[in-house]
Amino acid sequence: MSVLIDTNILLDVALKREPFYQASALAMAKARSVGDTLLCATSVTTLHYFLRQKQGEAGARRFLDQCLNAMTVARVEKATLQAASNSPMADFEDGVIAHAAQACAASLILTRNPKDFVKSPVPAVTPEAYLNQP
């Protein structure tokens, strides 16, 4: 099983954002233990932007290096962007993540906002729901 980790989950873990940190960290650990974890290419620059503001350049780079060493990068190509643009999903950024997940045959998307992925070609679940799956 491969799980694409949404940007908000990665930020929860990197910044230890409460009350989300524990469930997000546990869900990421579970995903790593049962299969491949994926990181959307577009999430990398978003993560760097927010982490640099909170942790400085060195802290941002350290977390990104950890992600890049531990996760597979889901590529974003022209076809991914076109699929997102033509998608019935309301938010373009979420559409890119969803279609990047589809392109790399992810089983699901781990996010705190599954309602944003209702029209996604790949199902989305919260950390809590994922942790309750067998």
pLDDT of residue 101: 98
CATH number of 2-131: 3.40.50.1010
pLDDT of residue 27: 98
Where exactly are the structural domains of the chain?
Answer: 2-131
φ/ψ (deg, to 5) at 132: -85, -5
Which of 79, 117, 70, 71 lies closest to 100 in space, CA to CA? Answer: 79
Average pLDDT of adjacent 10-residue blocks, the chain of 134 residues: 97 97 98 96 96 96 97 97 96 97 97 97 98 92
pLDDT of residue 134: 81
Strands 124-125 and 108-110 come out as parallel
* pTM, entire model: 0.94
Environment class of 49 (CB within 10 Å of its CB; exposed 0-12, middle 13-18, buried 19+): exposed
